[in-house]
Amino acid sequence: MSQNEKSVIRGLKATDPALTITNDELARSRARSLAVMDTDVTHIAVGGSIERLGTRPARRHWGRVAGFPRSSGNSDSRLQFKGAPAPRPIARRVLLATATAAVGVLVVGQISITAQSAHAAGVLRAAAVQSMTFVDPVAKPGEYLLVHTHANWSFTSQDTSGNMSTRMNAQTIDVYVPGNRDEEWVLDRDWGDVGPAPVDDGVIRAEDGHFYGGPWTPLSDEELDALPRDGQALYDHFNAQYQGGSASRDEDNFVRITDLLRLGLVPAELRAGLYEALALIPGVTASEQTNFDGKVGIAIGRTEPLRAGQRAEMIIDPATGLVIGERRIMTYAAFGFGSNEVMGHTAIDYRIVDKAPQ
């Protein structure tokens, strides 16, 4: 990494407001929580006053958990744990201590989440500025913009006995976008060990990038031109598109924006606005990360609680504002992956070339 890139990263990290929160401030916050919890007033908790927390709660009806069959007959439809003892009354002092500890965790956790989101917002705004100052590579007639993606994605297969297995598979995707848009786009793809099922391997040529019968990009050039450039206006635009189908509205907004950015075909002024729009999505955080080829950048990501803690990240080059990769990890052990195991990792590079493969 060059000295200039190190300087930019240090500047981006300096936007983190968590650096201004001292241990003394956290201690004072915890002391205030303890003082409130130790008074004689009624302390309201979820479900009622704290004095009632030690009693058996009212019977609740639980919805079916995915992957578990519905119960039949007269059996209890809730999840049952064999041998679990019935709840017993708990002393008020113990409850106060437990509630105090929980409040302390919530206070610290909220500070952490807020600080991380604010840090990410600062990083994205800095990336927006860099995007506007960096001159994007533009192909002239007779040239091509080559967007090279080196990817390592999870692949699930089934053997003849019906056993499922998941493994990682590396592949490369080269998209050649002509300087003269009337000419055909070219795709040169190596599917790796998975093989080109169900489509062909090798070179494919198609007008407007319709390599597999549909557009390569989510939006056409005309649709991209019609989008606003202001971050708030872009956020409102994508937020209004939500019709369900994602785990949450925030995930849907994040995916719609990153789907555009990852292709490397978004002009600088729009890219800057998209970064500003990402900064408005709740839960977005930032950290230093490398792409699949080892290049260091800033990872902008969010964790989706309704998708078993799956985290999606987009890696930005802080010196240019360009997207240089993506990463997807499981923050919990689920779906055959371990905690913090990588499900997908890419590196993206851009350059101008004189010709495309035949």
Cβ atoms of 185 and 178 closer than 8 Å: yes
Q: What residue has token string 């050039």?
A: 221
How do residues 3-57 score in pLDDT, each as one tens digit? 555 554 454 444 443 344 444 544 544 444 444 344 443 333 333 332 333 333 3
Adjacency order of strands within the sheet including 185-190: 202-206, 185-190, 164-178, 144-158, 341-353, 323-330, 310-316, 296-304, 285-290
Q: Is residue 343 within a helix (H) or strand (E), and if so which, with residue range?
A: strand 341-353
| Range with lowest mean pLDDT among 43-47, 215-219, 248-252 | 43-47
Residue type at 309? G
Contacts of 274 by beta carbon, 8 Å cutoff, 6+ apart: 231, 234, 257, 260, 261, 266
Please state the rounded mean pLDDT for residues 141-158.
92
For residue 275, pLDDT over 70 is answered with yes
For residue 331, pLDDT over 60 is answered with yes
Going 333 to 334 to 337 to 343, the CA torsion angle's sign is negative
Mean pLDDT of the chain: 73
Residues pairing with 38 in the sheet:
none
Predicted TM-score of the model (pTM): 0.65
How do residues 79-105 score in pLDDT, each as one tens digit? 333 333 334 343 334 333 333 333 344
Which pLDDT score is estimated for 24? 53
> Terminal CA-to-CA distance of the chain, rounded, Å?
36
Confidence of residue 196 (pLDDT cuts 50, 70, 90): low
